[in-house]
Amino acid sequence: MNPDELFLLVPQSILLGAAVLLMLMEPFSRQAGRRRLRMVAVAAVAVAAYALRLQWGLGPRSIGGGMIRVDGFSLFFQWLFLVITGLSAVLAADFNQREGIDRGEYYALLLTACSGMSLMAMSADLILTFIGIEILSLSTYILAGFKRRDIASGESSLKYFLLGSFATAILLYGIALVYGAAGSTQYQAIRAAAAAGEVPALLLPGLGLLLVGLGFKIGLVPFHSWIPDVYQGAPSPVTAFMSVGPKAAAIAALLRLLVEALPGLAPDWTRLLWLMAVLTMTLGNAAALVQSNVKRMLAYSAIAQAGYILVGVVANTREGFTAILFYLVVYTVMNLMAFGVVLSLSGPGDRRVHLEDYAGLARRAPFVAAALGVALLALAGIPLTGGFMGKFFLFGSAVKAGFVGLAVIAVLNSVLSVYYYFRLLVYMYMKDAPQGGAESISRPVGAILAIGVFLILWLGVGPDRFLALAGHSILGLK
C-alpha cells in the first residue's frame, strides 16, 4: 500500500489506537480519573471524524487490492457510526458511574465496535465483511454483559453470544458457497460471475445463508428472537448503542452486498426481502403492543423500524437507498433520544423501566417528558417530525418501484404502532405520579436531548439539504 492509500485508513487507525491506549490507561487511573478515559474516547471519535472530513471530495477509491471501498457511501456511514459511538460514550457517563461500571474497557470496546462497523460499510469483499461483523459482534457481546454481577446482563450477553455466533457460522458457510460458485469473494468478481450466462448453482443457497446471517444482525423476522431479551437485559446505554449502531452497519453491508455483488439476482432477493419486511413490521408492532417494560417495548419497536427500512431495500432504486440513509439518521436520533431518557430515569440497578415508572413524568420533569414525547412522535411517524419525512420517502420509493401492496402494509403498520407509542405518552402526561420527587438528568444528556429535538423537527420541516447529502452519498454504490 502506498502512503496515499494509508491516508484513507487513518480514521480506523485512530479508533483502534485510542482503544489500545484506553486499555493501557485503565489500570493506572484512579476512580476520580475515569473522566479522562471518557474524554480520550470522545476525542478519538472527534479526530477520526475530522480525518474523514478530509477524505470527502476525493472521489471513490478502491484500496487493499479492491477489498476496501472509500466512497460517499462508506464516508456517510462512517460518520454516522462515529456520531453514534461518541453519543453512546457521553450518554453512558452518568449511568456507568451510578452502576459502578465506569471502566476504560467500556469505551475501548465502543471504539473497536465502531471500527468493525466502519469496515462493514467500506468492505467490497465478503471476507472483510465477515471480519467487520466479527469485530463488531465480539465487542458488543462483551458490552452486553458488562454489568458482571447482574444476572440479566449476563443472560443477555450469553443469549446474544450463542445466537450471534450461530448466525455468523451460517453467514460464513454462505460465504464459502458463494466463493465456490463465483471463484472469488470480491463483490465485483461475484457480480461478473452471476452476470455471465447461467447463474452458478451454489450462488442461490449461498445468498440465502448470507441473508440469514445479515438478517440476524439487523433483527429481521424470523431471526429476531434474540432482540427483546438482549435489549432488555443489557445495560441501558449499551442497548441504546446496539439498537442503532450494529443495525445500521448490517444494513450498510446488506446494501453493498445486494447492490454491488448480486444485482443479477435482484428478482430473487426482492421477493424474499418483501416477505421478510412484511413479517418484521407486523410481528414487531404486534408484539410491542402488549409490552409493559419500556426497554422491551423499544426493542420490539426497533424490530418494526428495521422492517420499514427494509422497504427501501425492496424498492431497489436510487430513491429507495437515499430514503434508507435519510431514515437511518432520523432513526438514530430518535432512538438515542428515547434510550437517553430511559437510561437517565432507570434509577439504581437499571430497574425503573416499566410504564408505571413514567406516570406523571410531565409534572416531575417537563423537559425530559417533552423530549421523550418528541422522540416517540417521530418514531410513530407523526407529520412535522423527521420520522414522518423518513417514512414518507421510504414508502414513496416503494410505490414508485411498483410495490404498492408493500407500501400499504407499511402504512397500516405505522398506524398500528401509534398505539403503543402513545400509550407511553398517555402515561407521561395523563396519569398521576404514584410518588412525587423531581427527576434529574445530567447536563450532557440534557444537551443531547435538546439537540435531538431540534434535529428531529428540522429534518421534519426542511429535509431537502439532508436528502441531497444522502442522495450524493449513494452515488458510490454501484
Partner 1 sequence: MNHYLTLSLLLFLVGTVGFIVKKNVLAMFLCVELMLNAANLAFVAFARDLGQLQGQVFVFLVMVVAAAEAAVGLAIMIVLYRCRGTLNPDEADTMKG
Chain residues binding partner 1 by CB under 8 A are 127, 130-131, 134, 138, 141-142, 145, 148-152, 154-159, 161-162, 165-166, 168-170, 172-173, 175-177, 179-180, 183-185, 228-229, 232-233, 290-293, 296
* Between 79 and 216, CB nearer to partner 1: 216
- Of the pair 233, 360, the CB lying nearest partner 1 is at 233
**Contact status, residue 244 vs residue 189, Cβ threshold 8 Å:** no
Q: Is 65 left (phi over 0), alpha (psi -120 to 50) or beta?
A: left
The CB-of-246 to partner 1 minimum distance in angstroms stands at 16
| Cα–Cα distance list, 61 to 8, 10, 67, 74, 278 (Å) | 9, 15, 11, 11, 36
User: Which residues neighbour 269 within 8 Å (Cβ) at sequence distance 6 or greater?
Assistant: 207, 211, 258, 262
Q: How far is the CB of 154 from partner 1 (least distance, A)?
A: 4
**Which residue, 176 or 272, has its beta carbon nearer to partner 1?**
176
Which one-letter amino acid corresponds to residue 84? Answer: I
In angstroms, what is the minimal distance from the CB of 91 to partner 1?
22
Contacts of 137 (CB under 8 A, 6+ apart): 116, 164, 165, 168, 217, 246
Give the nearer residue to partner 1 in terms of CB position, either 188 or 293.
293
Please state the separation of Cα 215 from the chain's center in Å: 13
Q: Minimum CB separation from partner 1 for residue 23, in Å? A: 15
* Nearest distance, CB of residue 181 and partner 1, angstroms: 9
The phi, psi pair for 437, rounded to 5°, reads: 100, 120
CB of 159 to partner 1, least distance (A): 7
CB of 46 or CB of 169, closer to partner 1: 169
Q: Are 121 and 256 in contact (CB under 8 A)?
A: yes
CB of 165 to partner 1, least distance (A): 5
Neighbours of 200 (CB within 10 A): 18
The answer to whether the beta carbons of residues 125 and 185 sit under 8 Å apart is yes
> Terminus-to-terminus CA distance in the chain, angstroms?
24
Q: How many CA atoms lie within 13 A of 292 on its CB side?
A: 5
Query: How far are the Cα atoms of 127, 255, 278, 376 from residue 310, in angstroms, in the given order?
Result: 24, 10, 9, 21
How far apart are the C-alpha atoms of 90 and 337, rounded to whole Å? Answer: 12
In the complex, the smallest distance separating the C-beta of residue 414 from partner 1, rounded to whole angstroms, is: 23
Closer to partner 1 by CB, 174 or 373: give it.
174
Give the shortest CB-147-to-partner 1 separation in angstroms.
10
Rank residues 19 and 90 by Cβ distance to partner 1 and give the closer one.
19
Of residues 183 and 366, the one with the C-beta less far from partner 1: 183
Residues whose CB is less than 8 angstroms from the CB of residue 112 and which lie 6 or more positions away in sequence, other chains included: 15, 16, 19, 135, 139
| Grid coordinates belonging to 436 | 412525587
The smaller minimum CB distance to partner 1, of residues 32 and 151, is found at 151
Distance of closest approach, residue 321 Cβ to partner 1, in angstroms = 29
Task: Please report how the helices 404-430 and 294-315 are oriented relative to each other, as an axis angle in degrees rounded to 10.
Answer: 160
The 10 Å Cβ neighbour count of residue 304 is 27
- By three-state DSSP, how is residue 134 classified? helix
Find the shortest distance in angstroms from Cβ 116 to partner 1: 12
> Other C-beta atoms within 10 Å of 86: how many?
20
Nearer to partner 1, 60 or 205 (CB): 205
Looking at residue 123, what DSSP letter applies?
B
Question: Is the separation of the CB atoms in 76 and 470 below 8 Å?
Answer: yes
Closer to partner 1 by CB, 29 or 184: give it: 184
Q: How far is the CB of 353 from partner 1 (least distance, A)?
A: 12
In whole angstroms, give the CA distance from residue 110 to residue 116: 10
Q: For residues 297 and 380, which CB has a smaller minimum distance to partner 1 in the complex?
A: 297
Is the omega angle on the peptide bond into residue 3 within 30 degrees of 0, that is, cis?
A: no
